[in-house]
Amino acid sequence: MQIMLSTQVADEAWGKNALLSFNQAQATIHVPHYAERIAVQKAARKLRGQGIKDVVLEGENWDLETCWAFYQGFYSAKQDYAVEFPTLEDDALAELLARIQCGDFVREIINLPAEVITPVELATRAAQFIEEQAETYGDKSAVSFNIISGETLKLQNYQGIWNVGRGSANPPAMLQLDFNPTGNPDAPVLACLVGKGITFDSGGYSIKPSDNMSTMRTDMGGAALLIGTLGLAIARGLTQRVKLYLCCAENLVSSNAFKLGDIITYSNGVTAEILNTDAEGRLVLADGLIEADKQHPRFIIDCATLTGAAKMAVGNDYHSVLSMDDKLVTSLFQAAEVEQEPFWRLPFAEFHRSQISTAFADIANTGSVPVGAGASTATAFLSYFVKNYQQHWLHIDCSATYRKTASDLWAVGATGIGVQTLARLLLTEATV
């Protein structure tokens, strides 16, 4: 079906302010201000809802942003569709294809079953994708990586990842990837990206109800988001060094699984008591943040589908941002405004660090006050693994990673929201 984009109002026969009209094998999207991406994305969802799978975008009004908006709305997890784009300028077409490639990778790897995407598989596919991006847009040799898995994690003192993942037959893993296009092994690190890669989360002994567990293959959404972020930044011409750390594990119940009351001693000396095995994401991220901090980067970003509290606050519509660094938060929101992606700031203050106390260790992995801010105390836990946590560190609770039900903008499944914003932030900070 041909899809036209018009700035004219639809004939009243199609209803007042109708978004779509049809003429035989052609549909027209009516957007008086056609640069408004949301309206185009809604129209694409409506077309998919009518069973339309193959489309050709025709006419002069299409540009990069409207083509992208249409694709976002037309996408579905089964990938049973085809979109033919109109002629665009070379730069615009290259950007569109890079967004599609990176966004599709993020969505597909989140949507795939945990039987396929095990911890080692997630780390392996991430490294392969970044290598492919580097080879396409520069030099594959700019990428080096190491995947540490199984008992080796314990031997090398990555205690959080090891303890969370030791209950599964699929071994936990940590990806340590270095993208260094400078060719200088001593080049400073612009940023370290740390992603939560829990490929399935049963909750462990603090087991989830079945309905809450049904989508827990998506608990590696933070890791997926950062893979796409680095991939798109490379496609957009990133020339500075960035390191990626993915903390991957399955959180299952078995005779080998970690238990409530266990105490983990991290490599930086911090001890953490387990009060809830379903608060496992922060346990694995701690290892990644310790390692990232050792690199002395200009800034650190960690991404995780970390708390139900953040999702309760902002729904599936925004990613939540927590940080004490107002300047870095401002840069993030400026990038988000340009890329038209939704982020929302939640509070993280010094007093939150005292709300995870315990009599048996330095900190507990859940809040210890009767009524606490769960997203904030989760951030407080992570702050114990970043030496200068008040500056140059962004924590993103990825509330908008996945939708269990469809909306008028998004199909059921992963969204890919945030890839463009974080890629832009990397490139912006690289020029400062």
The two three-digit tokens of residue 426, written as one number: 């990397």
Whether the CB-CB separation of 163 and 214 falls below 8 Å is answered with no
Distance of alpha carbon 167 from alpha carbon 147, whole angstroms: 19
Q: What Cα–Cα distance (Å) separates residue 349 from each residue in 62, 352, 377, 393, 426?
A: 45, 6, 9, 13, 25
Report the alpha-carbon distance of residue 383 to residue 73 in Å, rounded.
37
- Interatomic CA distance for residues 173 and 50, integer angstroms: 43
- Strand-pair partners of 265: 271
Residue position matching structure tokens 């036209």:
4
Task: List the Cα angle 104/191/367 in 5-degree steps.
Answer: 85
If one counts every other C-beta atom within 10 angstroms of the C-beta of residue 256, the result is: 11
How far apart, in whole angstroms, are the C-alpha atoms of residue 101 and residue 420?
12
Residue carrying the six token digits 């018009």: 6
N-terminal to C-terminal alpha carbon distance within the chain: 46
DSSP annotation of 12 = G
| Beta strands 189-201; 2-6: pairing state | unpaired
- Within its chain, how far is the Cα of 398 from the centroid? 6
Pick from 264, 261, 277, 243: nearest CA to 154:
264
Report the greatest alpha carbon distance in the chain. 72
Cα–Cα distance, 410 to 403 (Å, whole number) = 8
- Give the separation between CA 26 and CA 14, rounded to whole angstroms: 14
Angle formed at CA 379 by CA 198 and CA 351, multiple of 5 degrees: 160
Active site residues: 208, 282
